[in-house]
Amino acid sequence: MSAGASAAQARPWDGHASAGEIARALGLPIQGDASAAIHRIAGLSQAKSGQISFLSQARLAPQLDSTQASVLIVRPDQLVRAQANPAVHAVLVSPDPYLSYARLTQWWVQRHQPLREQQVAALPEASPPASCRIHPSAVVDARARLGENVTVDALAHIAAGAVVGPGARVGSHCVIEAGAVLGADSVMRPRATLARDCRTGQRALLQSGAVIGGDGFGFAPEQGRWVKIEQLGGVLLGDDVEIGANTCVDRGALDDTVIEDGVKLDNLVQIGHNVHIGAHAAMAGCVGVAGSARIGAGCTVGGAGMVLGHLELAPGVHISAASLVTKSITQPGVYTGVFPIAENAVWEKNAATLRQLSRLRDKVRKLERGGPD
Amino acid sequence: MSAGASAAQARPWDGHASAGEIARALGLPIQGDASAAIHRIAGLSQAKSGQISFLSQARLAPQLDSTQASVLIVRPDQLVRAQANPAVHAVLVSPDPYLSYARLTQWWVQRHQPLREQQVAALPEASPPASCRIHPSAVVDARARLGENVTVDALAHIAAGAVVGPGARVGSHCVIEAGAVLGADSVMRPRATLARDCRTGQRALLQSGAVIGGDGFGFAPEQGRWVKIEQLGGVLLGDDVEIGANTCVDRGALDDTVIEDGVKLDNLVQIGHNVHIGAHAAMAGCVGVAGSARIGAGCTVGGAGMVLGHLELAPGVHISAASLVTKSITQPGVYTGVFPIAENAVWEKNAATLRQLSRLRDKVRKLERGGPD
Amino acid sequence: MSAGASAAQARPWDGHASAGEIARALGLPIQGDASAAIHRIAGLSQAKSGQISFLSQARLAPQLDSTQASVLIVRPDQLVRAQANPAVHAVLVSPDPYLSYARLTQWWVQRHQPLREQQVAALPEASPPASCRIHPSAVVDARARLGENVTVDALAHIAAGAVVGPGARVGSHCVIEAGAVLGADSVMRPRATLARDCRTGQRALLQSGAVIGGDGFGFAPEQGRWVKIEQLGGVLLGDDVEIGANTCVDRGALDDTVIEDGVKLDNLVQIGHNVHIGAHAAMAGCVGVAGSARIGAGCTVGGAGMVLGHLELAPGVHISAASLVTKSITQPGVYTGVFPIAENAVWEKNAATLRQLSRLRDKVRKLERGGPD
């Protein structure tokens, strides 16, 4: 996945703002150098010079000492610690840094959206190569870039700023947005969507209704309401990835959601933002993987299996159908957690006892100590 | 949600028929005033004068005494009780009122569909405001009504009789049907669908592939077959609602499915007909809420959580991921019901014992009474 | 389902190749008559004269004696047994017949795809009947065949070689591909997809976003990678079938996926390849049925219920919501397997005991034998 490396260099939402401008936009007091230049919002541990980050959970406070971010948003009680880091040029003080981060993403998008549109509008216009077969009803913007031998079926839409690799086939009613890249020899079946800033490797196969690049599900709570965190990352698919019908792969919050080479996802699978799926993993229908989970290479998840957020599965872990993974799994093997099905009457009796299971255990303990009293 | 109040006044499928016409159409005997005028089909407890309802479950028979419906469909053994209600002008007698209700919805739709189409055809034609940006490939019917500064991307379809509020952005390949309303400053990402009679509040965000207004899943059984109950309600979304990619919100059977202000639904969520979701609730990916459930304000449901039909969750209830709610929950708090995952061999041993759990309990009881005999 | 019978006669991917050509294409040694003519790939038990099959699982070896396939792919140790069957004219020897089968499907598609395209291109062009109402923005290929009184809404695409029965209504942004048949009086709501070689009976209702004919999830493992098995079957829906919004029905691997008359599927349901669903079964939202399962007539599956692959449910089996079927069920009745939901603290205590349940049983056994020692 050579595309991955270059992605670390420049990202679609990179922009420019000073610490002072950000503080004013968010209505926050600032300590330090208000002229500090910021080009990206980043997580505390990934942030580098010229980037802004925030501390939302007290347990991550030690990262304040090591982060390379130039500007930080922290609670008042973390101000001194943040300022002690020599890499930090300015600190914005917020009673709720996570909420401030949400507002920052909104301001960032509003500020840079016009610039992005100008960049796309400034792209040179060109006709597709003569080797392409494009249905007359398809809408291929002159500022999209198509490789040789691309096929575009009826009523597909390839937007300005999209890139389609040679030999790719774009099905009827597909959408490829600005900044998206469909790799060489890839196939999009009818009604697949490759949203802005989402890229596939070579020989991707996107089944009908697949949505690559919906927004990750990110909100900051504010007085009982939800404030949207704009999702600034994209999706990066490796080579030979297959995505099933009506399956969704969300874009990352700040970085990309990554699916490595050879991964196969069945239909109606949900992949949350910033998930990382290792090479040649496979997931059956109706699986869900919540945000920021890391699935090791060669893992499999049976139908309707679920993996909670921020967990890690070691390579070679196999999750049985309908099982919920609630903690990280470090050893390869087969893992299961499903209630055995039975005739309903039998289930009801067992379930009734199960509801009192810890009491049953207590009774057995008492019996072990000398029988009932 | 001011739109909600006005919706109670007139509904898209309001029409006109006499009790006698309905009786003839359904092939049912009628007692009482065959000229009684009907303009709507309604549930027994919601029905008002000028409306027709039915009694399908004997346990609801006491509602026959208090319903305000002008015409009822009941079993022969309920005829006398139905006639005793002075609000009831006519009674249709059916061996299977639920099946008759299904057939009534079909007849009602066939009768009034041409009228609805005439109403739409009679709408005045107008050009969108000059401030709108409409891609030349988009299909915007001249009898659709667009506010100022609406953006419509390539190949989107806004049908006659649809309304799009000012500042809204309609993505590529979106569909907005007759009678649908997209609120001001709302955004539909590519390939979202807002079906007939479905309305959003302001600043709605519909991700790609979202379907607002699929039919609710309603059928009456008849000799081992399923007879479709036409779904006459719509969907009503409040302000600031976000609907995830490929998520489905079904239209109501007779009334609307309602999602209040600030609710956030992740991807691949299923909301059944006539569900009511209170303000600022949030549901993670792959959640399902079955028909007529009521979810309180501020509730959350973890990924793949499921709520059965007709249940009620009090405000502030939090359902853990993959947990199935099988009864109403009246107290706020966190609720969980998942089989703990384990290495498959360990699971198999525990599951085998679980299948005999009620016997294990019996053994412990016997031991408590004096040990094994 | 009369269409089913004729489907057994000729299939879309029927073609022509000799055993020798196949052996060369797969790089496999061949024993026997290299000129043996092959027109179809088939499963071992279904294969007939003129067809090629393979043995991937040793436990199925007895089928080598009875298969009617003309050509087989087997492991070296099965060569003699395969040759002993007089119906078998040639045997290809492979160290991994399942992988060879995967490669064969790929080669078969590449070989015959141009022929299929030529067949479609050679279809006569014709205008739709004057009774049809076709929106000017719809794309209806002149080599599609439409019955009387068909309605096609804006931006729908009906491809060359598609057939639409009389009275059918094709919604906005629907796609009907080559070789697909939409039955008379059927309705496709906006953005439904009927992919190549998929057929519905009369009065089908496909809700928005439904995908009929995504690829089945079939791959052969090869050194830690997945090799795609091209899915050569289609989907066959009976009369009066309703498919919910964003529901997926996968095409079969070699034969068709079959859904019989009157079946109703709710939203976001996943039906794997080669599933067979008996007449008038019904499945609620978020259900999953894995590949090759057979669901009996009149079965019901509650929301998010799951049926594993290759299982069989007898007619009249009812699976409760969120229950996982892990073995075939031969007796009608209600079956359940869900962990009862509880306040999280209660659940945690019960779940902790559950993790040790088999030990608890051992303790009780010990107590029964004479109390703790």
Residue pair C12/C109 in contact (Cβ under 8 Å)? The answer is no
C245 touches chain B (CB under 8 A): yes
Task: Give me the pLDDT at residue C18, please.
Answer: 98
Does residue A7 register a pLDDT over 60? no
Torsion of CA A326, A332, A337, A340, to 10 degrees: 170
Which residue from B262, B361, B371 is facing A360, i.e. has the nearest CB?
B361
Q: How crowded is residue B118: how many other Cβ atoms within 10 Å of its Cβ?
A: 9
Distance from CA of B31 to the nearest CA of C (A): 34
C280 touches chain B (CB under 8 A): yes
- Terminal Cα distance for chain B, rounded: 68
Q: Which residues in chain B touch residue C299, judged by CB atoms under 8 angstroms apart?
A: none
Both structure tokens of C352:
């902790």
Residue pair A159/B172 in contact (Cβ under 8 Å)? The answer is yes
Query: Which whole number is the average pLDDT over C294-313?
Result: 98
Does residue C5 register a pLDDT over 60? no
- Terminal Cα distance for chain A, rounded: 68
B310 touches chain C (CB under 8 A): no
- What whole-number distance in Å separates Cα of residue C141 and Cα of residue A74? 61
- What whole-number distance in Å separates Cα of residue A98 and Cα of residue A78? 14
Lowest mean pLDDT across B199-208, B292-301, C85-94, C350-359: C350-359
Question: Which amino acid is it at A358?
Answer: S
A273 touches chain B (CB under 8 A): no
The pLDDT tens digits of the residues spanning B229-280 come to 999 999 999 999 999 999 999 999 999 999 999 999 999 999 999 999 999 9
CB contact under 8 A, B290 and C321: yes
| Test the C interface: residue of B143, B353, B360, B361 with most C CBs within 10 Å | B353
Greatest extent of chain C over all pairs of C-alpha atoms, in Å:
91
Which residue from B272, B335, B350 is facing C341, i.e. has the nearest CB?
B335
Given pLDDT bands bounded at 50, 70 and 90, which one contains residue B371? low
B207 touches chain C (CB under 8 A): no
SS3 call for A145: strand
CB contact under 8 A, B248 and C191: no
- What's the whole-number average pLDDT of chain C? 95
Q: Which residues in chain B touch residue C244, judged by CB atoms under 8 angstroms apart?
A: 214-215, 217, 248
DSSP string, B134-182: E-TT-EE-TTSEE-TT-EE-TT-EE-TT-EE-TT-EE-TT-EE-TT-EE
Taking each helix axis from N to C end, the angle separating B357-368 and B344-354, rounded to the nearest 10 degrees, works out to 60
DSSP string, A249-274: EEPPSSS-EEE-TT-EE-TT-EE-TT
Among all residues of A, which ones are annotated catalytic? 273
CATH number of C133-335: 2.160.10.10
A245 touches chain C (CB under 8 A): yes
Residue pair B204/B182 in contact (Cβ under 8 Å)? The answer is yes
Distance from CA of A138 to the nearest CA of C (A): 10
- What whole-number distance in Å separates Cα of residue C131 and Cα of residue B324? 51
Does residue C6 register a pLDDT over 60? no
CB contact under 8 A, C193 and A209: yes
B62 touches chain C (CB under 8 A): no
C248 touches chain A (CB under 8 A): yes
Among all residues of B, which ones are annotated catalytic? 273
Given pLDDT bands bounded at 50, 70 and 90, which one contains residue B9? confident
Query: Which whole number is the average pLDDT over C134-144?
Result: 98
Identify the chains in contact with C, defined as 3+ C-beta pairs within 8 A: A, B
Distance of CA C265 to the CA centre of its chain: 16
Q: Which residue of A has its CA nearest to B343?
A: A335
C370 touches chain A (CB under 8 A): no
DSSP state of A180: -
Q: Which residues in chain B touch residue C280, judged by CB atoms under 8 angstroms apart?
A: 224-226
The pLDDT tens digits of the residues spanning C279-293 come to 999 999 999 999 999
Task: Give me the pLDDT at residue B353, please.
Answer: 93
CB contact under 8 A, A326 and B339: no
Q: Does domain B2-121 have CATH number 1.10.540.10?
A: no
Domain residue extents for chain A: 12-121, 133-335, 343-373
Nearest to C245 by CA among C215, C281, C269: C269
For chain B, positions 162-201, list CB contacts with chain A under 8 A: 171-173, 189-191
Out of C273, C276, C310, C318, pick the active-site residue: C273
Quick one: three-class SS letters along A25-38? HHCCCEEECCCCEE
Task: Give me the pLDDT at residue A98, please.
Answer: 98
A210 touches chain C (CB under 8 A): no
Architecture of domain C12-121: 3-Layer(aba) Sandwich (3.40)
CB contact under 8 A, A347 and C326: no
Q: Which residue of C has its CA nearest to A297?
A: C224
- What whole-number distance in Å separates Cα of residue A259 and Cα of residue A281? 9
Identify the chains in contact with B, defined as 3+ C-beta pairs within 8 A: A, C
Task: Give me the pLDDT at residue A370, please.
Answer: 79
Distance from CA of A94 to the nearest CA of C (A): 33
Given pLDDT bands bounded at 50, 70 and 90, which one contains residue C370? confident
Percent of chain B with pLDDT over 70: 97
Q: Which residues in chain B touch residue A155, judged by CB atoms under 8 angstroms apart?
A: 155, 173
Which residue from B245, B280, B368 is facing A248, i.e. has the nearest CB?
B245
Helices (H), chain A: 2-7, 19-26, 63-66, 79-83, 97-121, 344-354, 357-370
CB contact under 8 A, A286 and C270: yes
Does residue C202 register a pLDDT over 70? yes
Q: A339-363 in b/e burial notation, b at 16+ Cβ within 10 A?
A: bbbbebebbebbbebbbbbbebbeb
Query: Which whole number is the average pLDDT over A176-191?
Result: 98
DSSP string, A196-232: TTEE--TT-EE-TT-EEEEPP--EEEETTEEEE----
Query: Which whole number is the average pLDDT over C246-264?
Result: 98
The pLDDT tens digits of the residues spanning A96-123 come to 999 999 999 999 999 999 999 999 999 9
Both structure tokens of C254:
């070699």
Nearest to B171 by CA among C191, C259, C337: C191
The pLDDT tens digits of the residues spanning B72-122 come to 999 999 999 999 999 999 999 999 999 999 999 999 999 999 999 999 999
Q: Which residues in chain B touch residue C241, judged by CB atoms under 8 angstroms apart?
A: none
Residue pair A57/A113 in contact (Cβ under 8 Å)? The answer is no
Task: Give me the pLDDT at residue C36, please.
Answer: 98
A47-55's contacts with Cβ under 8 Å and 24+ in sequence apart are: A49/A87, A52/A19, A52/A22, A52/A104, A54/A94, A54/A97, A54/A98, A54/A100, A54/A101, A54/A104, A55/A82, A55/A97
Does residue B298 register a pLDDT over 70? yes
CB contact under 8 A, C155 and B139: yes
CB contact under 8 A, B246 and A371: no
Distance from CA of B140 to the nearest CA of C (A): 10
CB contact under 8 A, C290 and A286: no
Which residue from B214, B333, B360 is facing C207, i.e. has the nearest CB?
B214
The pLDDT tens digits of the residues spanning A75-87 come to 999 999 999 999 9
Task: Give me the pLDDT at residue A26, please.
Answer: 98
Q: Which residues in chain B touch residue A272, judged by CB atoms under 8 angstroms apart?
A: 285
Q: Which residues in chain C touch residue A207, judged by CB atoms under 8 angstroms apart?
A: 211, 214-215
Q: Which residue of B has its CA nearest to A286?
A: B286
Distance from CA of A281 to the nearest CA of B (A): 19
- What whole-number distance in Å separates Cα of residue A234 and Cα of residue A245? 20
